[in-house]
Amino acid sequence: MRYFLISITLLMVIQGYSQTDKMTILSGTIVDSDSVPVPDMAIINTRTLNTIRTDEKGFFQAQVTGNDSLLIYHIAYKRLFITKKDNGKLIIVEPEINEINQVDITNNYKQELKNLQETVDEIKRAAPLKKLSKEERKSLVTKFVEENGSHNKGFSPFFGPTVAVPIGKIVQLTGLDANKRQRKKLTSHYHLVKPSHIKKKNKISKD
């Protein structure tokens, strides 16, 4: 009798294992949050690592045994695990938001803007000299006087072409030995003052 009970118990255990290990088909349809089917979604058996993919309608069929679970994977969506209890269901996946990539994109965008601005500045500095018309010079003189008051007696504001030069060069070119060729290299970025008596000397020397 004792051996009979042991035999019955073993048979029940074996039968339980056989039922648990029975091969079944787990199927379903995968869609996104807008109910649009997601094709080419990887369906991975976590025990055997066998992989299948959803078709163009988001449908799949996978073989599972016992308590196998399936990993639903796609780079654009969050990972999801399903089991036999999800058989035949409509499975909704959520988009994966990669914050690190968003930060990288933002930083790259800012760097591109910075590089673009530096390039524009270089182009401006390398631009050809612009000769001001009489009207433009008159407008600049009027604006200079309005912002700075009446200039000192014997001096008049001078606005040259638009190319940046060092401060030392400006001082040198505005001295008593300044000549017309060098002064033309100065820019309107600086409000220079030209001694009026130099102009008088030049007129005298020409006479």
Assign residue 2 a region (left: φ > 0; alpha: ψ between -120 and 50; beta: otherwise): alpha
Q: Which two tokens stand for residue 202?
A: 């030049």
What is the pLDDT, as a whole number, of residue 35?
Answer: 92
What is the pLDDT, as a whole number, of residue 5?
Answer: 43
Q: For residue 59, which of 72, 48, 47 has the smallest C-alpha distance?
A: 72
- The CATH fold assigned to 21-92 is Immunoglobulin-like (2.60.40)
Q: Where in the chain is the domain with CATH 2.60.40.1120?
A: 21-92
Q: For residue 184, which of 155, 163, 157 has the smallest C-alpha distance?
A: 163
pLDDT in single tens digits along all 207 residues of the chain? 554 444 445 555 455 545 456 888 999 999 999 999 999 999 999 999 999 999 999 999 999 998 899 999 998 899 999 998 999 999 999 998 765 555 565 666 677 667 667 766 665 565 555 566 778 777 776 776 666 655 444 445 554 444 444 444 444 544 444 444 444 544 444 444 444 444 444 444 444
Q: Which two tokens stand for residue 44?
A: 């991975």
Assign residue 105 a region (left: φ > 0; alpha: ψ between -120 and 50; beta: otherwise): alpha
